[in-house]
Amino acid sequence: MIGNVKKNEPFIYNYVKMKIEELESNVVFLDTGIFEKENFFKGNKINQLAELGKNNFVEIKITDITYKEIQKRIVVNLKKASNSYKKAYQQLNGEGKILKNLTTFEVYYKIPKVDIEKEFLKLKEKLDKFISDNKVEIVSSKDASINEVFEQYFSKKPPFGEGQKKDEFPDAFTLNTIKQWCLQNNKKVYVLFTDSDIRSYKNENLLVDYDIVDFLDAVNRKIETKKVETLEKIYAKIKPEIIADVKRNISSDLVNFVTEELDSDPFFDEADLMPPVIENLIIKEYSIAGTNHNYVTLELLCTITFEIEGSYVDYTSAFYDREDSVWLGAESVDRHMIYFADLIFQIDVNLLNESFSNMGYYHLENLEEKNY
């Protein structure tokens, strides 16, 4: 099984099934994980949320602890990117060097060196600009209660658990900072984390049960009440067309997803797959990701079942002959496979002409092969 496999964007959220029936606050605190999962400043969701903050529909806040943690995670991700670049450079100049003879591919061999310190300063500048442009407030942790945090630690209360991981202290101080802010300002707030353990933290002023998708949906529905009524009628009309459009256009993406799944297994190699046959596609729910004049952006969660024929080399029973530098006993396998998965994608709905345009990228989660 693969998790979080997708195209064009590096991360995707697992959906929280509990919807926000009525927005209880327009104040939202973001955790470090939200930024990292959204590739910091590039993800659709964080930019849709930022636009709401810029236009004063919501108040976005982070703690000073989160601000520092974001910078730390930027460095960690830069180091990973640097290593990936080095590996790519070695592979291109090793097994891929034949392509140097072709002018079409020359540009791919000029991979720049990643200067982590230099690139970090650029990204920190982007972070500060993101905060400034979108009216994000950094809340000081000076009022956090050290005694309350250590009481949680020793009594194994959330965000600490049985493992009592000391790396949960930043989360604990962040939550306590938010708790103190709520008491001082007499407000409830939404707190968006990517760590599911945080949802076991209980405080009447901290709404921690929801995903960024749920929050965006609730805010946009409140802002655009009339548009929502129109949208619901149009959606019912165009739903069959949406399903047909996905079936027509997702074939190559499914092949890529399954190929990546097979290639991730060290015992399989050289996957060669035929175009899939989609057995079933069901739209389970949709959320409003954003609005713009007469357009509404929807994020749809579907389940998909598809069949695919293919072959690959199975090394399960093979052994490596060091003398001749070859694998012996590898077997070419032809298979008929059936997969089911969760599919997430976005569309823009035109409220005037009751049409839609597919955003053109698909995210696949929880890909599993159907076993008999």
pLDDT digits over 85-140, tens only?
Answer: 888 888 888 888 888 888 888 877 877 788 999 999 999 999 999 999 999 999 99
Q: What is the pLDDT of residue 221?
A: 83
Q: For residue 155, name the pLDDT band (cuts at 50, 70, 90).
A: confident
More confident residue, 219 or 268: 219
Mean pLDDT of the chain: 84
Quick one: CA dihedral 272, 274, 279, 284, positive or negative? Answer: positive
Strand (E) or helix (H) holding 270: strand 268-273
Q: What is the pLDDT of residue 85?
A: 84
Q: Is residue 9 part of a domain?
A: no
Q: What is the pLDDT of residue 268?
A: 64
Q: What is the pLDDT of residue 327?
A: 74
300 and 343 housed in the same domain:
yes
Spatial distance between the Cα atoms of 23 and 214, rounded to a whole number of angstroms: 10
Query: Considering only 23-32, 252-261, 352-361, which range has the smallest mean pLDDT?
Result: 352-361
173 and 297 housed in the same domain:
no
Q: What is the pLDDT of residue 184?
A: 94
Q: Is residue 3 part of a domain?
A: no
50 and 171 housed in the same domain:
yes
175 and 229 housed in the same domain:
no
Spatial distance between the Cα atoms of 328 and 68, rounded to a whole number of angstroms: 52
211 and 237 housed in the same domain:
no
- Residue where a domain stops, chosen among 164, 191, 221: 221
203 and 238 housed in the same domain:
no
User: How many structural domains comprise the chain?
Assistant: 2
pLDDT digits over 175-203, tens only?
Answer: 999 999 999 999 999 999 888 777 778 88
- Residue where a domain stops, chosen among 164, 192, 221: 221
Q: What is the pLDDT of residue 263?
A: 73
| Contact in structure between 195 and 168 (CB atoms under 8 Å) | no
Q: Could you tell me the two tokens for 184? A: 């001082």
Q: What is the pLDDT of residue 294?
A: 81
More confident residue, 206 or 315: 206
130 and 199 housed in the same domain:
yes
The one-letter amino acid code at 94 reads: G
